[in-house]
Amino acid sequence: MTIGLAIIGAGYWGPNLVRTALGTPALRLDWLCDLDLERAKAVLGPYVTVRPTDSFDAVLSDPDVAAVAIATPAATHFDLVRSALEAGKHVLVEKPLTPSVAEAEKLVSLADSCGLVLMCDHTYCYTPAVQRIRELIRGGSIGDIQFIDSVRINLGLVQPDVDVLWDLAPHDLSIMDFVLPEDITPVAVAAHGGDPIGAGRACLAYLSVWLSNGALAHVHVNWLSPTKIRTTVFGGSRRTIVWDDTNPARRLAVHDRGVDTLQAGAVQRDQRRQALISYRTGDTLIPALPEREALLSVMAEFTAAITEGRPALTDVRAGLRVLKLLQAASRSAELGGERISLNGMAE
C-alpha cells in the first residue's frame, strides 16, 4: 500500500524532497503546497500528476494524504507541524525542528498523544559515511571517544532569519547526537559568534560542547570562508576517524594512530613522566562506502517508521536534543562565551 504524501514549501530545499519522494515507490506524492502558487507550479513542471496548491487547509482535509513533509522556514514549523498532527497526518519536518525548545517540547507531547510519526530531516545522519561512523563508534572499534572536531565552512548565503549557528550547526549537532553512544550526553556548551561584515547576525561561530564522559567536542561554522571545508575528526582511545565530506574518493579514514597512556602504578617513579604517554603509529583503513543519496534514505526511513508504527531513527526527541544545544549556544554567545550547562544555567 502506498502512503499519500504532501510536501509543503517549494523554495530551495522543497524540490529535493519532491524529487526523492517521487523516487520512493512506497510514497505517492499528491500535493505540493507553497504560499507562492507559481513557485509550486514551476517546481512541478507541466507533466506530473502532483497537484500544486497554496492552501495548507486543502492538503490537511484530503483524506488520501496520510503524511506531510515540511520544508518552509523554521519560524513556520511549529504551527504547520501542530496543525498536521491535529489533522492526523504523520510529519517529516526540516531542521531545525522549531526556533524554541518550549515549542519543540509541545510537539513531543502532541506527537506522543496522537501516536503519529514526527521525524526530523537530519539529512546527514542518512549518509553512508555517517552511518558507518555510527557503527564504528557504537560498535566500540575506536574505543572511548576523547574528542570531536568539526569544521563546516564555505561561502554561504547570509540567511535573513537565522544566524550561522542555527543554519549550519544543526548538521554537526545532529550528527553528534546520532553517532554517540546513548550513555554519552552533552553537559555544557560555550559559543562565540562573529559578524565582521556587519550583517546583523553571526556569520561565523565557534562552539564547544562538553560531554558526560569528559570528552570535548568543537564545531566551527562559517559563511564567509572562500574555501569549502567539511571535515570532522572523531578521536578515540583506540582509533581516530577522519571524515572529509568533500573528498568522495576517501570520505572516511580510520587511523590506528594515537596516544596511549599507562597507569601510574605500572612504571617506576623516576620514569613516570616520560612513560605515562606514548605515541602509537599503525595502519590507516579506508572503508568502502556505498553511493546512496541521503534524502532517499530519509524517505525510506519515514515510510518504514509509518508502516512499522515506530519512532523514526531521527525522531522529534532527536530534534529537541539538538535544539537544546542550539538554544544554550545562543545564550552563551550573548553572554560573551560563558559556559552554559544544559540545565540552562550559566556556570
Ligand X SMILES: NC(=O)c1ccc[n+]([C@@H]2O[C@H](COP(=O)([O-])OP(=O)(O)OC[C@H]3O[C@@H](n4cnc5c(N)ncnc54)[C@H](O)[C@@H]3O)[C@@H](O)[C@H]2O)c1
Residues in contact with ligand X by the rule CB under 6 A = 8-14, 33-36, 39, 56, 71-74, 76, 80, 94-95, 121, 123
For ligand X, the closer of residues 170 and 193 by Cβ is: 170
Smaller CB separation from ligand X, 74 or 153: 74
What is the smallest separation between the CB atom of 196 and ligand X, expressed in angstroms?
24
For the CB of residue 185, give the shortest distance to ligand X in the complex, in Å.
24
Q: Provide, rounded to whole angstroms, the least separation between the CB of residue 272 and ligand X.
A: 50
The residue whose Cβ lies closest to ligand X is 11
Question: Strands 145-155, 224-236: parallel, antiparallel or unpaired by DSSP?
Answer: antiparallel
Looking at the Cβ atoms of 246 and 261, the one nearer to ligand X is 246
> Minimum distance from CB of 76 to ligand X (Å)?
5
| Amino acid found at 209 | V
Residue 140: exposure state from Cβ atoms within 10 A (0-12, 13-18, ≥19): exposed
Q: How far is the CB of 226 from ligand X (least distance, A)?
A: 21
184: cell is 554519552
Closer residue to ligand X, CB minimum distance, 14 or 258? 14
Q: CB nearer to ligand X: give 74 or 202.
A: 74
CB 219 within 8 A of CB 169: yes
The phi and psi torsions of 233 (rounded to 5 degrees) equal -115, 130
Q: Closest separation between CB of residue 93 and ligand X, Å?
A: 8
Min dist. Cβ of residue 213 to ligand X (A) = 29
Q: Which is nearer to ligand X, 130 or 136 (CB)?
A: 130
Place of cell 597512556: 261
3-class DSSP state of 171 = helix
| Residue among 11 and 344 whose Cβ is closer to ligand X | 11
Shortest CB 66 distance to ligand X, Å:
19
Total length of the chain: 347
Nearer to ligand X by Cβ, of 10 and 21: the residue is 10
